Structure formats: structure tokens, C-alpha cells
Amino acid sequence: MMDRRAFLRAAGLVGAGSVLVGCSSGGPAEPGAATTPPTAPPPTTTTTGPPSPPNWESLRARISGTVLLPGDAEFDKAGLAFNPLTDTRKPAAVVRCKNKDDVQACVGVAAESKIPIAARGGGHSYAGYSVPEGGLLVDMSELKEIQVRPDGTVRIGAGARLMDVYTELAKAGRCLPGGSCPTVGIAGLTLGGGIGVLSRRFGLTCDRLDAATVVTADSQVIEASGAKGTDLFWALRGGGGGNFGIVTEFLFSTFPAPNLAVFTLRFPAGSVATALGAWQEWIASAPPELWSNFVVSGASRAPACHISGCYVGSVGDLNGLLAGLKARPTARIVQEKDYLQGMRFFAGGSQRESFVASSRMLPAPADPARVAELMTGRQGVDLLIDALGGAVADLGPSDTAFPHRKAFASAQIYGKTDASGAARATTQVAEIRDALAEFTGVTGYVNYIDPAMPDWANAYYGANLPRLQQVAKSVDPDKVFGFAQAVPRT
């Protein structure tokens, strides 16, 4: 049997990493955006000679934040991501930035030294890509200010986590469609799209983005926005974290916070095929106010399943809709919640968790009997089918970088495992992912990033890939930013 490190290496979780940066800077990037002068003198990135090793002491003296190096008391902990299976990834330095000047300084050091660099928001990258092996981890956790403005927009620092965002918005009576896990970062979530329980009513998180402040590869600060019509702004909405620069702040439009009706329905083991058939038919004709997911829990003989959901409206109206579901649960919870209570209902825990995962995007309902068959003999692996449609499909596949606008649902394959079971979980997840391709073709969600995803760039980006490559080449010609699944620059 493969040992853990060998497994992780095979899966691309160690050693695969970081694309080495290119040779010389081509000067300021030309993404077509208006630029604002940096607030501190940018470190030069024009290097003609061989790269020099990073001068951490010089960086320490120049920034307001903290530089942590191996041997420093907090270093080991500061370099960890959410998934402990990625703990073998070790950065050369962790820099806790206090402001965008610090971020500019970090990018300058990485460009000059040609070492890998990655920003970390919530640290939930499935593959640990926010921890650059042997490189500079730009820890954004202290840039977490959330400011709800009188016009209903909200400015959010790129280090903020989802439950803090929801809590501040709720205080102001506003809401933003986002993901479920309380400690996921707003940064990674938004940059990859952002699917959640309010998506069918209010769109993806990235659909509500109005502007972003970005430190680019040449240490300039760019304000990317729709008004300025930039390719960069297009790419930031679904093109995936870590590709085009480091966002320091997001500006979103919000909605008045609605009251919600939430529900969970449980079905007996062995009823996956009938319940999934009924659920698919039901959700396909449901109004956008209703979001729901169907979860199959793999088992040796008879997989179990349950349905959860969230309705933007009253319990009475939800009960009317549930009456149309042609599958009878054995247990049922329906509750009224305010916005924040609703977000907490779906939140789950915030402790670190070891897992292996992948995804596909279903263009249409899947064959329920085939899904039941696929999940038989798969103990420890869940298949989470999250309905899309509604407001997600109001935009076209090329309107933002998120290409899966017309998908019926995302299908996430998730194997919770400790290190000793990781090789088996990886095999199981891969088998289900590859079998699902018979319904889905080459598709996948970049926020469920899978280091072993075959043909990953086409899977995540589809027909948007060439434009994303152009943007990446334009804003980062020297490949300062890069990781194993970064948008290819060629």
C-alpha cells in the first residue's frame, strides 16, 4: 500500500505545486483597467539577472504585518490549511498582512526572488493551493473588515470568513448569496463562483460583485469593476482564486435579508433511485425561491439519502411545494428562520476536516438507478447534488468566467477520511467522478478543486478557457502567480 506522502504526491497534493515563475518582467500589466497609484512605493519587479533569495529581514522591516519563518513559534500552525491531508505542504514564509501595501511588498519579493506565492483567505482550498510549497504564503486573515454602506453595498476585506460576513449583513438587514461552511473565505468562494442555498433566488456570490481591489503581478493596485468593463473583472467572477493577482477588498451589492423556511427530509436506506427520481422532477419545475440538494450516502449494500432545502418565503408556501414531491420521507423537519438563523442551519462545524473530493456538473437530471448503483459499495463517500438553475441561469455561460450557467445541478463527491484511508477514498472518489462523466462530460467546479481531475482546465472553464488564458497572460506575463492547476498562460 502507498504510504501517505506517496499517496499525496500521486494525488498532486505535494510536490506538484507551484509553477516556477518566468524570467523578466514585461512592465506594468495591461488588463484594460484603470489603475490607481500604489499607496507605497512598489518594489521593483524588473529583474534581468538571476533571482536573488528572498530577503525576509528587509521585508520584515518594510511592512506593518508580521513575517513568520521556520523556527518562529507560530510558524507551523500559521502554515496550515483547512484540510489536514495537505499538511505536508510547507511554505518558506508566512506573512500576515495588515494592509494592501504589505500585499504589494509580498508580491514584489516573490517576483524578484521567483519563489511561489499564494494568498490565503479562509484556507479551504481542497488541495491546499493557498499554501505554496517553499514559497510565500500571504495570509489575508487580518484584512477582514466588513462595512455595510447606506446604499446597500458592502465592502469586505479579502480575509473575511462567511459567517462573519453573514453576521454583519444581518445586523444591517441585508443578505448576500454565499456558501454554507462558516469558515470558508469570501475570497476563494467569490473568485471561483460561489454556490449556496440562496443561489437560485439571488445568483452566485460572484454575480453580486461590483468591484474588486487587486494587487497585480507587478505590484500595482487595480480597481477592477464592471463600470470599467475589464477582462480582469470578468475573470474574477468564476475564474478561480490564485490566478490573476491578490484581491485585497471586494465590493458587493446586497439584497434585503429575507425570512427563510428550511427543511430536511430523510428516506429509508435503499430508496435512492425512487427518491432521486422524484426530487429531480420536483426541483426542475420549482420556483427560483426554492433551493434544494439531494445527498446520497454511500453504503456497502443500500445507500441512504436525504434532501435539504431552503425556501425564500413562508413555511406555509414551502409546505405547499413539498406536497408536490412524489416521495414520502420517514422523517421531516420544516422550520422558519430569519436570514442569519438560516445561514447557521446550513453552516456545519468549523473544525478542520480531512477529506478527498471532486465534482461534476449535471446538465440535466441523471439516471436515478445508475446513481444508486454507483453509490453502492461506497461507504464513507457522499454524493451531494445541489440544484442550480433559477438566477444562476439568468446569465449566459460567457457573461462571467463561471461557465456552468445552464447546469441543472452540481454533483460533489466527498470522502471524509483520515490519512490512513486517504488512498482508498481517493480511488472511490475518482471512480464515481469518472463514471458520472457519462452524464456530465468533462465538467467540474473550480471551487471543488481536485488535484487528480482529468482535463481539469476544460472541466472547470469549458469554452471560457481561452479568454481566461488571455487575461492571465495579460495581467501576469511572467507567471508570478501559479500553482498546479493555475489557468495555463500559454
Minimum separation from the CB atom of position 130 to ligand FAD (A): 3
Please identify which residue in 179, 239, 309, 389 interacts with ligand FAD, judged by CB under 6 A. 179
Please identify which residue in 247, 262, 265, 436 interacts with ligand FAD, judged by CB under 6 A. 247
Contacts of 169 (CB under 8 A, 6+ apart): 146, 148, 154, 175, 176, 254, 257, 339
Nearest to 127 by CA among 6, 247, 16: 16
Give the x-and-dash track for 447-466 against ligand FAD (CB under 6 A). x-------------------
122 binds ligand FAD (CB under 6 A): yes
The answer to whether residues 411 and 365 touch, using CB atoms and an 8 Å cutoff, is no
17 binds ligand FAD (CB under 6 A): no
Distance, in Å, from the CA atom of 288 to the CA atom of 265, rounded to the nearest integer, reads: 20
Distance, in Å, from the CA atom of 425 to the CA atom of 420, rounded to the nearest integer, reads: 10
User: For the chain, give me the number of helices (H) and strands (E)?
Assistant: 15, 19
Please identify which residue in 12, 42, 135, 185 interacts with ligand FAD, judged by CB under 6 A. 185
360 binds ligand FAD (CB under 6 A): no
246 binds ligand FAD (CB under 6 A): yes
* Stated length of the chain: 490
181 binds ligand FAD (CB under 6 A): yes
SS3 39: coil
- In 3-state terms, the chain is what percent helix, strand and coil (to 5)? 30, 20, 45
| Nearer to ligand FAD among residue 42 and residue 194 (C-beta) | 194
Distance, in Å, from the CA atom of 344 to the CA atom of 31, rounded to the nearest integer, reads: 39
Residues touching ligand FAD: how many (CB under 6 A)?
34
The answer to whether residues 222 and 35 touch, using CB atoms and an 8 Å cutoff, is yes
203 binds ligand FAD (CB under 6 A): no
278 binds ligand FAD (CB under 6 A): no
Please identify which residue in 59, 110, 136, 195 interacts with ligand FAD, judged by CB under 6 A. 195
User: Where would I find the beta strands (DSSP E) of 257-408?
Assistant: 260-267, 290-297, 304-312, 331-337, 355-362, 381-387
196 binds ligand FAD (CB under 6 A): yes
Minimum separation from the CB atom of position 147 to ligand FAD (A): 17
Please identify which residue in 135, 242, 277, 389 interacts with ligand FAD, judged by CB under 6 A. 242
Nearest to 9 by CA among 452, 454, 456, 476: 452
Q: Which stretch binds ligand FAD (CB under 6 A): 238-246, 265-273, 288-296, 432-440?
A: 238-246
433 binds ligand FAD (CB under 6 A): no
Q: Give the angle subtended at the CA of 472 by the CAs of 466 and 477, to the nearest 5°.
A: 125
For the chain, the first-to-last Cα distance in angstroms comes to 37
| Nearer to ligand FAD among residue 42 and residue 123 (C-beta) | 123
Please identify which residue in 59, 119, 385, 429 interacts with ligand FAD, judged by CB under 6 A. 119
Minimum separation from the CB atom of position 181 to ligand FAD (A): 3
| Nearer to ligand FAD among residue 263 and residue 368 (C-beta) | 263
415 binds ligand FAD (CB under 6 A): no
- In one letter, which amino acid is 137? L
Footprint of ligand FAD on 78-97 (CB under 6 A): 81-82
Strands 260-267 and 209-215: unpaired
| Nearer to ligand FAD among residue 120 and residue 368 (C-beta) | 120
The footprint of ligand FAD (CB under 6 A) covers: 81-82, 118-126, 129-130, 140, 158, 179-181, 184-185, 187-189, 191-196, 241-242, 246-247, 447
